[in-house]
Amino acid sequence: MIVTAKKNDKISKMTFASVYPHYINRLEKNGRTKKEFHQVIKWLTGFDEEKIQELIDKKVTFETFFQKAKLNPNAHLIKGVICGYRIEEIPDEFELYRKCRYLDKLYDELAKGRKMEKILRVKKK
């Protein structure tokens, strides 16, 4: 699928708080924990549990969420298809959309039972 300015704009205006309970719900149904998800978020964004809760309480948009994030230098190692989009083919002009798909991909891997060592990418030497 192709990312459009309309899709990018739509996701930029969504609040993290509106999606977060759905993330947690699915993870718990699949035997994963909120703590594990927070570990994934921390790896990707640098946000600790306190900061995650603050962003939820403030109902920040995904645009603000990722503006405040310090993206992990290994985030570019997140590849593959999520929601019909090949992450590595999302154009630079839709950087926010790519960052959201990074989070979705990590979340999906967690929900599917992938080992944490694999989810939290480490560049091979």
pLDDT in tens, 15-38: 999 999 999 999 999 999 999 999
Burial label for 65, CB within 10 Å (0-12, 13-18, 19+), is buried
Q: For residue 122, tell me if it sits in a domain.
A: no
pLDDT at 97: 96
pLDDT in tens, 45-87: 999 999 999 999 999 999 999 999 999 999 999 999 998 999 9
* Average pLDDT of the chain, as a whole number: 95
Query: 82 phi and psi, to 5 degrees?
Result: -140, 130
Q: For residue 124, tell me if it sits in a domain.
A: no
pLDDT at 125: 57
pLDDT in tens, 82-114: 989 999 999 999 999 999 999 999 999 999 999
Number of domains in the chain: 1
Boundaries of domain holding 38: 5-117
Hey, what are 7's tokens? 């899709």
Q: For residue 107, tell me if it sits in a domain.
A: yes
Supply the DSSP symbol for 30.
T
Q: For residue 78, tell me if it sits in a domain.
A: yes
CATH of the domain at 47: 1.10.8.290
**In this structure, which amino acid lies at residue 53?**
Q
pLDDT at 124: 62
